[in-house]
């Protein structure tokens, strides 16, 4: 006996979800148990078309063979009310490839997002609202494109509370040309390149 699923994506019905051993012995009543049989409690000691017969009443009781790793395609909505643990990669909107989680398309996070490692941004990085809370970055933040900060009023405020030669407020580096400008922990400005002042 076989149980198949998804007659649309598996038109030949060859990927069985579960099956039972071949019946080779003649008995009047057979009972095949699935994983959830331990949660069932309304067994009956007699013939029934609504309840499962008890183990003592059945002439033969066997466990069904369950395919624990079938491919499942869901074309409608999926609502999960409890915790979910996924052992493999997850692709949303496309195949995940080698990524643990790959989202293809737009996504929106309406609550907190905690990044425990490095944050690498290959595209633009835009703030649509003023950041009102303290943002702590414990690891490197890498931008591969331009960072444009625009605001009505003070556009950028940088505060640094460390003291020491390596605790700069800001250090501007010109890549292969080396350091260009530094504001040290005391607020002093240091220019390492030529300064061109234009205007009156």
pLDDT digits (tens, 9 = 90+) for 4-50: 445 555 555 566 677 778 878 888 888 888 877 888 889 889 888 88
Asked if 44 and 53 count as a contact pair (C-beta separation under 8 A), the reply is yes
Mean pLDDT, residues 96-115 taken together: 86
pTM of the model: 0.35
What does the angle CA 124 – CA 125 – CA 129 come to, to the nearest 5 degrees? 135
**Per residue in 159-189, pLDDT tens?**
888 788 888 899 999 989 999 999 998 899 9
> SS3 for the chain, per residue?
CEECCCCCCCCCCCCCCEECCCCCCCCCCEEEECHHHHHCCCCECCCCCCCCECCCCCCEEEECEECCCCCCCCCCCCCCCCCCCCCCCEEECCCCCCCCEEECCCCCCCCCCCCCCCEEECCCCCCCCCCCCCCCCCCCEEECCCCCCCCCCCCCCCCCCCCCCCCCCEEEECHHHCEEEEECCCCCEEECCCCCCCCC
| Residue 182, pLDDT score | 93
Task: Show me where the domains of the chain are located.
Answer: 1-73
Per the structure block, which two tokens stand in for 104?
């293809």
User: Does residue 1 have a pLDDT over 70?
Assistant: no
Which residues, other chains included, contact 131 with Cβ-Cβ below 8 Å and sequence gap of 6+?
Answer: none
**Per residue in 118-154, pLDDT tens?**
878 777 766 665 544 445 555 556 555 667 777 788 8
């Amino acid at each position: 006996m076989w149980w198949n699923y998804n007659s649309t994506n598996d038109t030949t019905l060859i990927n069985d979800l579960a099956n039972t051993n071949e019946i080779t012995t003649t008995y009047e009543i057979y009972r095949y148990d699935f994983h959830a049989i331990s949660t069932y409690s309304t067994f009956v000691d007699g013939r029934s078309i609504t309840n499962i017969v008890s183990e003592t009443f059945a002439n033969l009781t066997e466990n069904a063979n369950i395919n624990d790793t079938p491919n499942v395609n869901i074309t409608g909505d999926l609502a999960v009310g409890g915790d979910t643990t996924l052992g493999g990669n997850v692709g949303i909107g496309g195949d995940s490839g080698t990524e643990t989680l790959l989202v293809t398309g737009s996504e929106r996070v309406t609550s907190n997002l905690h990044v425990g490692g490095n944050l690498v941004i290959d595209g633009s990085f835009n703030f649509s609202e003023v950041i009102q809370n303290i943002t702590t970055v414990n690891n490197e933040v890498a931008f591969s494109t331009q960072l444009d900060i625009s605001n009505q009023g003070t556009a950028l405020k940088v505060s640094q509370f460390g003291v020491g030669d390596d605790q700069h407020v800001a250090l501007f580096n010109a890549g292969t040309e080396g350091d260009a400008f530094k504001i040290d922990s005391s607020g002093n400005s240091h220019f390492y390149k030529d300064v061109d002042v234009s205007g009156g």
